[in-house]
Structure 1
Amino acid sequence: MELSVLGSGQALSVSDAVFGREFNRDLVHQVVVAFRNAGRAGTKAQLSRAEVSGTTKKFKKQKGGGARHGDYRAPIFVGGGVTFAAKPRSFEQKVNKKMYRAAISVILSELNRQSRLTVVDAIDVSEPKTKALIAKLDELNAGRPLIVTESGSENLYLAARNIPYVQIRDVQGLDPAVLVGAERVVMTADAVKKVEEWLA
């Protein structure tokens, strides 16, 4: 298949296996959830009834005082233990390389089908000015894009860091979560070729 390169009037020949793949909702969901879970610390910890410090002395008689209670460490009391106390754990889910790469291909293919993937010959700014990058994005009619370059210049990163709705990634920094969350993806022709080599 071919992707048209905006502004050059030329077409870029790409693999159907990377940019023309059938959408697989379950695969994308599994990989995105696993990717996000891998970033979770899993360090939340609470004290159970057995772990709370304090006396275990029964604080009142068994009968004649209303509800029966043993000690003040019960979960219904302020300062008592938590009923089902959270403990540190790993949220990691196993996703092999084949699934991960397939999910990236599926997302890129769907972006292409929905006309949310724009390929440009190159995108850069001569100086690290936010105004210059905004003007360039207006020319491309890119909206709120994720810009993917083969290896982005420092000027481009500096120009984009003040714009909350623009993200800059190189091919190595591409991940399924950022692709799924992007309103529009702008990729340079060199980045497309590098992505194709990676996923083919």
Structure 2
Amino acid sequence: MELNVIGAKPLSVSDEVFGGEYKQALVHQVVVAYQAGGRAGTKAQLSRGEMSGTTKKFKKQKGGGARHGDYRAPIFVGGGVTFAAKPRSFEQKVNRKSYRVAIRSILAELNRADRLKVVEGFGLDSPKTSAMVAKLAELQVSGRVLLVSEDATESVFLAARNIPYVHVLDVLALNPVSLVGSDYVVMTVDAVKKIEEWLA
């Protein structure tokens, strides 16, 4: 199949990468796993045994109503937490092959919905926000825009950083969450070739 390149001749690409079936369940699984992997997992609470303070029994066993040991028990205000949370990893295992299939599926759906734009280059020699705004208007993209380049220059990063909802990513940093959360994805020809080489 061929991808239309704005201002240049069409680019021949693999049907498998940019024209495959959209697998919603797999895409959802991979997106959730990617987001879970970014969680810090640093929540920590103190259990009864980790609380500071005396363990002295504060009243006699019988004759005073309910039986209690010490004030560190979870039933008391300021006491320990029952089943206290501890730092842990939220990572979910996703096979490398499944991850690649999900990325292919997302790219194919973006292409079908005409939300994938391919350009020769961003053509920004100076880090001017106004130049980037003009470029995006020329490409007729709006909302959340993801710019993907094989080797994005500093000028592109600097020109885009002050525009709300416009993000620049290198091909190596491409991820399912960024793709799914974008209204439009703009890629350079070199980036498309690199992605095709990675996913084919």
The verdict on a shared fold, with TM-score over 0.5 as the criterion, is yes
Instruction: State how 1:181-196 maps to structure 2 within 5 Å.
Output: 181-196=181-196
Superposed, 1:152-171 pairs within 5 Å as: 152-171=152-171
- Cα deviation for residue 63 of structure 1 reads 5.3
CA offset at residue 157 of structure 1? 0.8
Cα distance, 1:42 vs structure 2: 2.3
Determine if contact 1:18/1:106 at 8 Å carries over to the other structure: yes
Match for residue 22 of structure 2?
23
Match of 2:77 in 1: 78
Task: Write the distance in 1 (CA, Å) between the matches of 2:66 and 2:28.
Answer: 49
1:116 alignment partner in structure 2: 115
| Gaps in structure 1 of 5+ consecutive residues | none
Matched residues, number: 199
The letter of the residue matching 1:178 is: S
Identity of aligned residues (%): 69
**Inter-partner Cα distance in structure 1 for 2:53 and 2:147:** 57
Task: Please give the alpha-carbon distance, in whole angstroms, between the structure 2 residues aligned to 1:124 and 1:46.
Answer: 53
Cα RMSD (Å): 1.7
Shift of 1:28: 1.2
Tell me the residue number matched to 2:176: 176
CA shift for structure 1 position 31: 1.6
Per-residue deviation, 1:181 = 1.2
Cα separation, 1, equivalents of 2:15 and 2:27? 18
> Which amino acid in structure 2 is aligned with residue 26 of structure 1?
A
Structure-2-length-normalised TM-score: 0.91
Runs of 4+ displaced beyond 6 Å: none
Q: Residue 86 of structure 2: SS of its match in structure 1?
A: coil
Task: Give CA deviations for 1:4-29 in whole Å, capped at 9, x if unaligned.
Answer: 11233x32211111011111122112
Which letter maps to 2:38?
G
Amino acid aligned to 2:18: F
Quote how far apart the aligned CAs of 1:108 are.
0.6
Question: What letter matches 1:177 in structure 2?
Answer: V
What residue number does 1:59 align with? Answer: 58
